[in-house]
Homo-oligomer: A and B are copies of this chain.
Amino acid sequence: MRMVETQEERPEIMERLHRVGITNLRTVAKINWKGREYTFLPVIEVTIDVPAEKKGIHMSRLVESITEAMSEAVEEEVAKVHSSLEELGKCVIERLEGKHPHRRAEVWIKTHLIIPRTTPASGRTSYEPYDVEVGVIKHEEGSFEKVLRVRVIGNTACPHAMANNNGKTHIQRAIGELEIRAGFDEEIPLEEMIEVVESSFSHPTYTLLKTVDENAVVQGMYRNPKFVEDVAREIFAKAKERFNGKIHVRVVSNESIHKHDVIAETWN
Contacts and interface: CB of A to CB of B under 8 A. Distances in A.
Interface of A: 3-7, 11-28, 39-41, 45, 47, 50, 55-57, 59-60, 63-64, 67, 70, 111-112, 114, 125-129, 153, 155, 159-161, 163-165, 167-173, 203, 205-212, 214-215, 217-219, 221-222, 227-230, 232-234, 236-237, 252, 254-267
Contacts of A167: 168
A263 B219 contact: no
Given A4-B160, A219-B168, A20 B228 contact: yes
B208 A64 contact: yes
A243 to B, nearest CB: 15
A170 B218 contact: yes
Contacts of A172: 171-173, 254, 256
Contact of A215 (B155, B165, B263): B165
B259 A127 contact: no
A170 to B, nearest CB: 5
9 contacts: A3-B212, A6-B227, A13-B233, A26-B259, A28-B127, A56-B230, A67-B208, A172-B254, A173-B173
Given A3-B164, A4-B164, A261 B227 contact: no
A17 B265 contact: yes
A13 B229 CA distance: 10
Given A25-B129, A170-B217, 4 more contacts: A3-B212, A15-B237, A172-B254, A173-B173
Contact of A209 (B111, B209, B252, B257): B257
A13 to B, nearest CB: 4
Contact of A111 (B41, B55, B218, B219): B41
A25 B6 CA distance: 35
Contact of A112 (B41, B218, B228, B256): B41
B164 A211 contact: yes
Q: Which of A7, A210, A229 has the most CB of B within 10 A?
A: A229
B257 A218 contact: yes
Contacts of A41: 40-41, 111-112, 114, 129
A21 B263 contact: yes
A65 B88 CA distance: 34
Given A219-B165, A265-B19, A171 B256 contact: yes
